[in-house]
Structure 1
Amino acid sequence: MENIISISGNAKYSITLDPGVWIFDDRRVDLDSFFNTNTAQVDELDEYTKSISKHWDREIMEGAVFPPTLKTEKKFEKEKVLTGTFGIPLKPFLQNAEPDKSAETLTIVSDDGEEHVPLSEARSFILGFSLKGKPLREDGPVHVYFGDGRNKDNPIKRVRAFIIK
């Protein structure tokens, strides 16, 4: 249970997070390149439309033949998962907790103390959960990165809970 993190406090729901299953989540981001690229706000509907269009174009160009590139793409994805450094946005979890309208602060509780951050800024947090394909056992279960990357070299470590105040 030491890898479980909770979001609680001034919210409609308390949420329990298990970073061990995030490797299978489509919302994961590659932390090796995330802070190095220009991360504009992503419109999920637009991204979905682009991926469907890409698939449709592939069907038209290649037909029903199973192209060998799909096998290599799957192998590459598997390699990436086994060796990559990943994080996941905190925003969807905060939305699911449904903070009260009066909530203004998110407190990050870690073994090193507490850090208070405006809730508006916390929505851009990225929770790092994997380093080179391995879970963060020594100083985890997650590392908290600010969305703008200002602490990418020194994230908040040993996080135990998030409290909405």
Structure 2
Amino acid sequence: MIEILINLLRVFAPLSFLTIGGGQSIIPAIHHQSVEVHQWITNAQFLDLFALSRLTPGPKSLLVTLVGWQTAGIIGALVASVAIFLPSAILVYYLAKLWARYEGKPLIKAVEQGLIPVAAGMILAATGTILRAAEGGAWAWGVAMLSTILLLRTRVSPFLLLGLGGLLFAVVQPAA
């Protein structure tokens, strides 16, 4: 049990530094470490925990807490939570002071502009990880792409797209 707790710390503490601005960016790494490397959970369990973490209020890094809980119970949840939240909280505390001191300077503006495509790329990687883990095949990718296009080009409600996507899979999946 101690070895699992140490591994939870080793895996999630470094990932904590990538969660600044949101936990969405580390989903591929969480999946890779939890399912493929350490085999703490299965692909199906990952998808269930991912869905649960999205339904609950609070930070999206809550997925890590759920992985820790699934892996080592309440102690695992606590260790995983400390590992994912504490390092980034300390970093943000000191960065906020530094950021405020140099706010508006060209270097700060350049860093902010440079981080925009990085964040977008990490969110796209997270989307790809979830689509691969769900094993929905071409249907899932097609629905995701169509939904993205519709969201970018129209004012359609995301909830409507979620409902239609769910209905489509309810119809198509039994036939597959």
Which one has a larger percent strand, Structure 1 or Structure 2? 1
Normalized against structure 2, the TM-score is what? 0.28
Normalized against structure 1, the TM-score is what? 0.29
Q: Which has the higher contact order (CA 8 A, sep 6+)?
A: 1
